[in-house]
Structure 1
Amino acid sequence: PPPPRLIHGANAHHSLPHAAWLLGMPEPLEIPTPTGTLDPAALDEALAAEPGPCLVAATAGTTDAGLVDPLDAIADVCARHRAELHVDAAYGGLLVLSPRHRDRLAGLHRAATVTLDLHKLGWQPVAAGLLAVPAATLLAPLAQQADYLNAADDTDAGLPDLLGRSLRTTRRPDVLKIAVTLRALGRDGIAELTDRVCATAHELAALLDAHPRFEVHATPAISTVLFRPTGAGDDDLAALRRRLLTDGTAVLGRATAAGRRWLKATVLNPHTTTKDLEALVALLEGSTHR
């Protein structure tokens, strides 16, 4: 059969088309996402036009604004066309541990594969990423055997090997840090930290929205706040961001939404205080009028 074609929204992370290129898959099909999320109707139309097998990648927590695609509706479309569904939940995946926020990920369980990037909501080293599947048997195609690494008798004796659990033979044991964190904090502990950073992002958005010199793009979907100084042009925003970075006073991202450029503050430190937020707003206010 022909190799599957990847279909994803314009809101997808750059690593998805990059991975398709590395694997020698056909050119991915990118669906426009004018609202910021993947439209199930547009996906349905795209799948109907594809003659071969397809892999659909949805996003739970976009890089720009933390938006979550309508996973349940997308899963319905994939089931109708017999397309496999992957969910990139690198940013928002751990919302499932929070009773307050898990409804945003309704339908996540219907994915064939899910990626989680625990250096965001999870507070782990940058390389601590996970691929989750519904059953361990689905990882069987990854199994490799080399006598000098995982001889059959060693495997039968219970010695662990990574050949079927990682794309790299040698890597840092970041999974140990994940295990220790889960043991120490548990689901409730991680959910509490997640709820805290989400609440802090809403507090920052409220401070900026109430300030006459700033405008906020939208209510934060997770913990990312998009905003811009009123009256500033896109070039002004880019220069402001670089100046703050060069001065060593604040690290802000940038994003494009609704045809405009925005500054991006992603709250990930659960110990951020109201005083910290007020200091950031004061810094921004002073920097925009230098």
Structure 2
Amino acid sequence: MTLTNKEIKAEVMEELFLHSGESGQASFQKQMTEMIAILSRTFQDATAPYIGKQPKMVQDEIASLIKFPNETQNFTELLQEIAEPILKNSLQVSHEKSIAHLHCPPLIPAIAAEIVISSFNQSLDSWDQSTAATYLEQEMIKWLTKKFGYTANSDGTFTSGGTQSNYTGLLLARDEFCYRKWGRDVKLDGLPSQFHKLRILCSEDAHFTVQKTAAQLGLGVNAVITVKVDEYHRMSPMHLKKQLIDLKEKDLLPFALVGTCGTTDFGSIDPLVELATIAKEEELWFHVDAAYGGALILSESYNWKLEGIKAADSITVDFHKLFYQPISCGAFLVKNSQSFRFLNHHADYLNPIEDDGEGIPNLVNKSIVTTRRFDAFKLFLSLKTVGIRLFSEMIDATFYLAQETANYLSHQPNIKVENKNPELNTVIFRFEPQTSTGDVCKLNRKIQQEMLYESKAAIAKTSVNGRTYLKFTMLNPRTKMKHIYEIVEEIQTLGWKWREHT
């Protein structure tokens, strides 16, 4: 019997999707097996965080791939085609010497969870698209709010990360203030004429998304008033009070205070208890950006550093940092669930009002986005597999490593350490030779680049008071002092090599 072209195409399509049929099952298992095998080989062969190629070379190799066939391509052959330009050219964030950014090694159960999330391809906007996933996210939100000290009246939603969470917090803060002060429903009527007077306060070292959010909310970057930090890069309550007095004298309207629990560079934690008190006295919405430091809720040794966070009106927490989840995975938590009313819009095809009356939860009511992945499952599966105690030990191990690293660097010649007592697990330092006629900032930038291009390590660079520094961000609990010793030795070698050429 000869198959027609239409029948052949139908048979091929049966192999392209995961379904209950035999062909779909067999194709899924075969391709997953092959993908796992090539990934395992890629990780097994990796001797450094990065293969060392310059950006232009990688760009050219990727560009050569963008040729799409008219007919189907053999999956096994395709994997061989992408092995070098994509897989081998990728940064190995799980490598012990990958200590550049807030970029964590993902847990294996979380990677496995990604397969489930992608296979079902549910969207968390409406219940009839996500069913069980809706309830699991709600239960995970309940667990999180309780861990952060919130009451049963609180709520939250999973987000793509800190940017989305910080945006949501300040959006709710703006709309709540406009409604309370002027009876203005911004969602319905837009911003009031006095909107140009609105101000947000945060520290000088707060995340740039505060300014970015102000711009997107129509307030402008200049609506963000920065507060000075102390020698440990924590917001100064005294200067905050001075800024508030100054704003009132200028007839301006501060409506939100952003406290940071874990600044990007120094991991500094603002004095949350004092800030909460000031926010309450001044009737400010208190938002805490704990994208980085929020993992302290799982730490047995350091969770005391979160004291005061339960007074926040809203909280940002990321799980693709110290919770070891694949990107992206974060959450936005709010003290009063009624605050979400400023986001709620109804669409007849998606979240009709009748669903509310019947108790059907459509999570789009709590989110600034519509389509949303089932990211809560990754965190759920990880916590179930690893357990709270081991999670705590892994997180604490990175804090211990940071302190030991800072101590070690402090005793190295030609090394200046900026934070000798790390708040979390970042260490800021620079190679500063006493006998050099070159530009030390350019020298440290060169060291950071050459470490990557020579496949030695992935470390970061940053700026402190206008000067270039190097940064270790030690999220990986598998990184040990022996790796730090080797990295520092390479930094010293490169520093002396390039000291007169920059």
TM-score by length of 1: 0.91
Q: Is the contact between residue 209 and residue 216 of structure 1 (CA under 8 Å) also seen in structure 2?
A: yes
Instruction: Calculate the aligned-residue CA RMSD, in Å.
Output: 2.1
Matches within 5 A, 1:71-86: 71-86=272-287
- What is the Cα deviation at residue 156 of structure 1? 5.6
State the SS of the aligned residue for 2:430: strand
Other-structure match for 1:60: 261
List gaps (5 residues or longer) in structure 2: 1-181, 183-193, 498-502
| Correspondence list, 1:145-224, <5 A | 145-154=346-355, 160-218=361-419, 219-224=421-426
* CA–CA distance in structure 1, aligned partners of residues 308 and 355 of structure 2: 40
Letter in 1 for 2:225: L
Match of 1:228 among 409, 430, 433: 430
More deviation, 85-94/31-40: 31-40
- Give 1:42 shift: 0.8
Pair 1:271-2:478 in alignment: yes
Answer yes or no: is 1:91 the counterpart of 2:292. Answer: yes
User: What is the CA–CA distance in structure 2 between the aligned matches of 1:121 and 1:280, rounded to whole Å?
Assistant: 22
Q: Does residue 132 of structure 1 match 2:337?
A: no
Please say if residues 427 and 472 of structure 2, whose CA atoms lie closer than 8 Å, have aligned partners that are also in contact: yes
What residue in structure 1 maps to residue 227 of structure 2?
31
State the 1:175 CA deviation: 1.9
**Across the two proteins, how many residue pairs are aligned to each other?**
290
The superposition leaves residues 65-86 of structure 1 with CA deviations (integer Å, 9 ceiling, x where unpaired) of: 1111111111121122111111
Following superposition, the deviation at residue 147 of structure 1 comes to 1.6
* 1:44 match: 241
CA contact (8 A) 1:9 1:38 kept: yes
SS in 2 for 1:116: strand
Shift of 1:102: 1.5
> Secondary structure of 2:349's partner?
helix
Q: Which runs of 5+ in 1 are unaligned?
A: none
Deviates more, 1:121-130 or 1:151-160: 151-160
Q: Tell me whether 129-138 or 6-15 shows the greater mean CA deviation.
A: 129-138
User: Does the 8 Å CA contact 2:313/2:336 hold for their aligned counterparts?
Assistant: no
Q: Based on CA coordinates, which of the two structures has the bigger radius of gyration?
A: 2
Q: Which residue identity is paired with 2:328? A: A
SS at match of 1:149: coil
For the 8 Å contact 2:428–2:469, the answer to whether it is kept is: yes
**In the aligned structure 1, how far is the partner of 2:394 from the partner of 2:355?**
41
What one-letter code is carried by the residue in structure 1 that aligns with 2:203?
A: G
Q: 1:153 offset after TM fit, Å?
A: 4.7
SS in structure 2 of the partner of residue 194 of structure 1: helix
Q: Greater strand percent: which structure?
A: 1
**Distance in 1 of aligned mates of 2:397 and 2:210:** 30
Cα displacement (A) at 1:258: 5.4
Deviation track 1:31-63 (CA, whole Å, cap 9, x = no partner) reads 233532210011111122334242011111111
Secondary structure (helix, strand or coil) at the match of 2:322 reads coil
For 2:283 and 2:366, locate their aligned partners in 1 and report how far apart those are by CA, in whole Å.
Answer: 27
Which one scores higher on RCO, CA 8 angstroms, separation ≥ 6? 2
Structure 1 counterpart of 2:487, from 273, 280, 287: 280
Percent of aligned pairs sharing the same letter: 30
Deviation string 1:72-115 (CA, Å, 9 cap, x unpaired) is 11112112211111111111111122231122222111111110
Contact 1:58 1:85 in 2 (8 A): yes
8 Å CA contact 1:64–1:256 kept in 2: the answer is no
2:320 and 2:216 map into 1 onto residues whose CA distance is 24
Q: 1:53 to 1:10 in 2, by over 3 A?
A: closer
Give, in whole Å, the separation in 2 of the partners of 1:39 and 1:142: 33
| Structure 1, 12-21 or 32-41: larger mean CA deviation | 32-41
Distance 2:429 2:422 in 1: 11
Calculate the TM-score normalised by the size of structure 2: 0.54
**CA deviations over 1:197-222 (Å, ceiling 9, x no partner):** 11111222222222224232122110
